[in-house]
Amino acid sequence: MNDLMVVLDIQHGWKGSWYDPGAMCDQNSDGVIEEWEHEHSLSAAYAEYARMACAGFGLRCAIVPDEMRASNYADGMQWANRLAQDHRGPAAFVACHLNSVLGDPPKRGIVGYYSASPRSRLLAQCLTQPLKQYVPDLVEETAEIPVDPQADERYRRSMHYTIREVGKEVPGMAAVCYEPAFIQHLRGDRAAADRHCRRIGLALARGLLTYTTHGRV
């Protein structure tokens, strides 16, 4: 099953002429929110660590290039669909985010999957499992959440929005919205944040490797 094609999409960031930083947090408490403290920068960091670790595991892994985004989230998903179509083998799409909420968030990692997709559910299970092992200081509990455009809760509809275009022309392509931790828990200086991102990236790659070993995905 090492012919899995993984596509990581850092969905916040530059989209053509405008910049969407996503969530942000003054990680080092210096009174200024710098670019490295944006969800976009931190998820780009863990995605790159995941890509490198996937290469080490022999998994094909691509990150949606910034220049492919013309206006919104759909651009990255369509790029992923084209890559999966050319690949003609199993494919998995991971929308890379960090969670955010006002107040005192639980130490929880969440992965959302489209409720109608058994493969996506399996992928979500594989990705949540390693979090408690690799980042136990950031994640004490994990959850796989079915998401749906008609879901009652707004956050389930929002998570579905991040994967809504995936696999339309590629039946069986698994897709999840990955929220490995809350941004408020990646506290510390820039080097500490980078170490957090490295461990999240390793957890992500480890989960993808587990997914390939389930076979027939």
Q: Return the residue matching tokens 């994640």.
A: 139
Contact track, Zn ion, 119-158, x by CB under 5 A:
----------------------------------------
- Residue 101 CB, shortest distance to Zn ion, in Å, is 12
Please identify, among the stretches 21-29, 61-69, 146-154, 192-200, the one whose residues bind Zn ion according to the rule CB under 5 A.
Answer: 21-29
Compare residues 22 and 76 and give the one whose CB is closer to Zn ion.
22
- Residue 87 CB, shortest distance to Zn ion, in Å, is 26
Compare residues 36 and 87 and give the one whose CB is closer to Zn ion.
36
Q: 161 exposed, middle or buried (CB, 10 Å; 0-12, 13-18, 19+)? A: middle
Residue 22 within binding range of Zn ion, rule CB under 5 A: yes
Compare residues 167 and 180 and give the one whose CB is closer to Zn ion.
180
Q: 68 exposed, middle or buried (CB, 10 Å; 0-12, 13-18, 19+)? A: middle
Contact track, Zn ion, 91-110, x by CB under 5 A:
------x-------------
Compare residues 142 and 212 and give the one whose CB is closer to Zn ion.
142
Compare residues 158 and 213 and give the one whose CB is closer to Zn ion.
158
- Residue 214 CB, shortest distance to Zn ion, in Å, is 27
Please identify, among the stretches 44-52, 89-97, 149-157, 168-176, the one whose residues bind Zn ion according to the rule CB under 5 A.
Answer: 89-97
- The footprint of Zn ion (CB under 5 A) covers 22, 97
